[in-house]
Structure 1
Amino acid sequence: MKNTFTGICMGSLLVMSTSHADVGREEELDEAVRQFAAKVEAVWQECLRRPDVHGTNGSEMCLFAMKRSADEQVELKYQEKLAHAQQMTEHPDRYSTYEEVPVLLKASQSHWKEYVKSDCEGIYQQSVSGTARGTFALMCKYKHALQRLRALDEWY
């Protein structure tokens, strides 16, 4: 009876510590994206305060720079993950089930780009009028880029 109880306690401890490790990793990944966003958004705010930035065109120029930084970070992270996936396929003795990962990762990236385009351009072309349309679409794309960064971070 004592051995059974000890076994249950040890198993529970193992499950709890593994679960806690996953939560810790999730929090680390979230924090990394938050820090990146804070840095990029600080540059955006600084751009908006420049004396030569006026009206919608000026603010969109600043927002576009922020979105471009996020897109560049997504592309960099994607290329890192793709390189890692391709390295895994070169070692079939260690990673026998990973041969399709590079193909799936490429498809995922392509689908994500299509989704962002339809979500951010399609919706705002129909629902927002005037000069705000471009601003809303850029902000939408920026937010999707942050979500994609987080999603790419989850994959080893």
Structure 2
Amino acid sequence: MKRVFTVFVIAGLLATGVSHADVGREEELARAVDQFAAKLEAEWKRCLSNPNTRTTNDSERCALVMMQAANDAVKQKYQEKLVITQQYAEQEMLSKGVPALLPQAQEAWEQYVNADCRVVGALITGTASTTYQLVCEYKHQIQRLHALDEW
């Protein structure tokens, strides 16, 4: 009986250790995305404060650079997740159908971002609407990086 109790205690400690490892990994991934976002936003602010940034088109270019960098990061992370998921399915660690679901989910997310940010652009009148739309897309990209880390 004492031995059974010891086995349960050890198993519980191991399980707790693994769950803490996952939490630590998730926190590390979240920190990395937050640092990436902070770097992009600092570069965006520098671009906006540049004396050569005078027009709405100039500020749009600043936002576009930030959004494109985040978009590229999402595409890269998505591709990595897709490859890993396919490997797991081949090793029968996941259902064979899961890799086929990922492109559907990514496409649905992209459609949502386009629709949501078109609304943002439509709500803002004047020449700044494109900048607001780009910033909207950027924010969604950062959220997607976090979501992809949770897969």
TM over 0.5: yes
In structure 2, stretches of 5+ residues that fail to align are none
What displacement does 1:62 show? Answer: 0.1
Q: Measure, in 1, the Cα distance between the counterparts of 2:93 and 2:31.
A: 33
Residue matched to 2:118: 121
Decide which moves more: 15-24 or 107-116: 15-24
In the TM superposition, what are the counterparts of 1:65-76 in structure 2 within 5 Å? 65-76=65-76
Which has the larger displacement, 10-19 or 41-50?
Answer: 10-19
Aligned partners of 1:79 and 1:3: how far apart in 2? 47
In the comparison of the two structures, how many residue pairs are matched? 151
How many angstroms apart in 1 are the aligned matches of 2:93 and 2:4?
A: 37
Alignment RMSD:
2.2
Establish whether residue 28 from structure 1 lines up as the match of residue 24 from structure 2: no
Structure 1 portions without partners, runs of 5+: none
Give the TM-score normalised by structure 1.
0.82
Distance (Å, rounded) in 2 between the aligned partners of 1:13 and 1:88:
27
Report Cα offsets for 1:90-134 as digits up to 9, x if no partner.
x3xx31643222211100110010010111112441x32223322
Report the CA distance between 1:12 and its aligned residue.
4.1
AA paired with 2:113?
V
Percent identity of equivalent pairs: 48
In structure 1, what is the Cα distance between the partners aligned to 2:81 and 2:136? 24
Aligned to 1:102: 99
| 8 Å Cα contact 1:29/1:154 also seen in 2 | no
- Aligned-partner SS, 1:51: coil
TM-score by length of 2: 0.84
Cα distance in structure 1, aligned partners of 2:30 and 2:109: 20
| Partner Cα distance (1:64, 1:20) in 2 | 38
Give, in whole Å, the separation in 2 of the partners of 1:21 and 1:88: 20
CA–CA separation in structure 1 for the residues paired with 2:54 and 2:69: 21
SS across alignment from 1:53? coil
Q: How big is the shift at 1:7?
A: 5.2
- 2:131 alignment partner in structure 1: 135
In structure 2, the residue matched to 1:79 is 79
CA shift, 1:135, in A, is: 2.1
